[in-house]
Amino acid sequence: MRLEDILFSQGFGTRRVCAGLVQQGFVVIAGQVCEDPGEFFQPEGLRFAVQGMDWPYAERAYLMLHKPAGTECSQKPSTWPSIYTFLPGPLRTRPQKAAVQGVQAVGRLDQDTTGLLLLTDDGKFIHRMSSPKHHVPKVYEVTVKHELTVDQVERLLAGVVLDDDPKPVKAAACEAVTPLHLRLTLTEGKYHQVKRMVAAVGNRVEGLHRSAIGSLILPEDLLPGQWRWLSAADLALMSASKA
């Protein structure tokens, strides 16, 4: 693939802009400055630097982000800062692929909810991970206002009725880690589902954190606001993530 096309595919600008980056000596591969936009490279496994920013070639972008509180999962936030401000420009401006422009969040977390968030420009991956038909489990660490009871845990496992659906909604797993810490696993994603389920059994959510999606656990060393590429091993865990 031509070098300017590689840069374009990764979101570094129009082809003209990408050609200019190369011609101005801003692109380095294997320690060597490249100045020919038309030079051919094998893209798979290629690493390069653009204006000092190291970059691995990725045909599709798959990321994890530790979402901090006080942020919105929206490209056009209304009140709080957008989670997309944590990402470098190329990830936000990757060319459109299968109706996906740049990377998009796989589902959403409320502004006050923290934890693991996946992002990608792969439309099929978004559908597979967010569709309730695929039953991908998501684990939430819930801080509640009142001490948990055995009855509350049992009711969450058995199913509670929410006001927008007469069909009971139940947790795939539920345990009281401490009197005020509930670990709840869900396989669907209704609006404010955790908060509404907890309210339905007579308690109240004071803090909400998503710690895992399927078999993928939020790394302890990924701090709020930080992101990283999903590895091949991470993606394998995602492929096996079904309840």
The whole-angstrom separation of Cα 140 and Cα 197 is 12
Residues in the chain: 243
Helix axes 193-200, 150-158, angle to 10 degrees: 120
User: Is 54 assigned a catalytic role?
Assistant: no
CB contact set of 161 (below 8 Å; sequence gap of 6+): 167, 168, 169, 200
CB contact set of 177 (below 8 Å; sequence gap of 6+): 141, 183
Kindly state the tokens that stand for 32.
């060597």
Give the position of tokens 């967010």.
130
The whole-angstrom separation of Cα 208 and Cα 184 is 10
Cα torsion angle, 16, 229, 209, 184, sign: positive
- Which one is catalytic: 110, 164, 165, 234? 110
Q: Are 41 and 55 in contact (CB under 8 A)?
A: no
The whole-angstrom separation of Cα 207 and Cα 209 is 7
Q: Are 241 and 215 in contact (CB under 8 A)?
A: yes
The whole-angstrom separation of Cα 125 and Cα 121 is 8
Residues carrying an active site annotation = 110
